[in-house]
Amino acid sequence: MLDIIKESWPWYVAGPLIGLTVPILLILGNKSFGISSSLRHICAACVPGNINFFKYDWRRESWNLFFVLGIFFGGMISAYFLVNPGEIIVNPKLKAELAGYGITDYSNLVPTQLMNFKNLLTLKGFLTMVVGGFLVGFGTRYAGGCTSGHAIMGLSNLQWPSLVATICFMIGGFFVANVVLPIILSL
């Protein structure tokens, strides 16, 4: 059983399991799925300032903090105890392309040759980690939610803004992965 958990699950298993969170959350407590809103709840609980954006009853949404903590600790448990000791399987064509950018280590889910503290002080590292992180955070706030909130929960509820946001997420992702990232990686 442990071997099955350690392997990658196919889309037709993982997708429906993720999709089932929507009806479960709605049935159990009329709650909506989304991760980015938890940062607002944490700030509302911890920031004692007089900021209108944080003036709401964050305690009503505290379940979301437990949900995110569960995701965090689940990730920690899987990273330490359920890790597959083999090399990450990457398509040979992608391996060849990444080798051209100096990325050849597939021992982790995130390429250590790209994401490390030493690389943070380079232009490539600054652009991918700091600027990219800022743009993800800004886009999440601008869109009124993250990809999980819009693409999983919002589309399931047939919300027009979620459809628009998801289309924009996908277009932006394709553009960055195919146009912007190759430019950054070649720096």
Question: Do 42 and 176 contact (CB within 8 A), yes or no?
Answer: no
> What's the CA gap between 31 and 67, in Å, rounded?
11
121-144 as b/e, with b when 16 or more CB fall inside 10 Å?
eeebbebbbeeeeeeeeeebeebe
Sign of the Cα torsion 73, 74, 77, 83 reads negative
Whole-number pLDDT of residue 175: 96
Question: Do 82 and 2 contact (CB within 8 A), yes or no?
Answer: yes
Whole-number pLDDT of residue 183: 94
Whole-number pLDDT of residue 173: 92
Whole-number pLDDT of residue 134: 92
- Please name the amino acid found at residue 34: G
Q: What is the pLDDT along the chain (187 residues), one digit of tens a residue?
A: 777 777 778 889 988 888 888 888 888 888 777 788 888 888 888 876 778 877 888 888 888 888 889 989 998 998 888 877 777 888 999 999 999 988 888 887 788 888 889 888 999 999 999 999 999 888 888 888 888 888 888 888 889 999 999 999 999 999 999 999 999 999 8
**Alpha helices, H only, the chain:** 2-6, 11-19, 21-29, 37-46, 62-81, 92-100, 117-120, 123-125, 132-143, 147, 155-156, 160-175, 181-185
Whole-number pLDDT of residue 10: 86
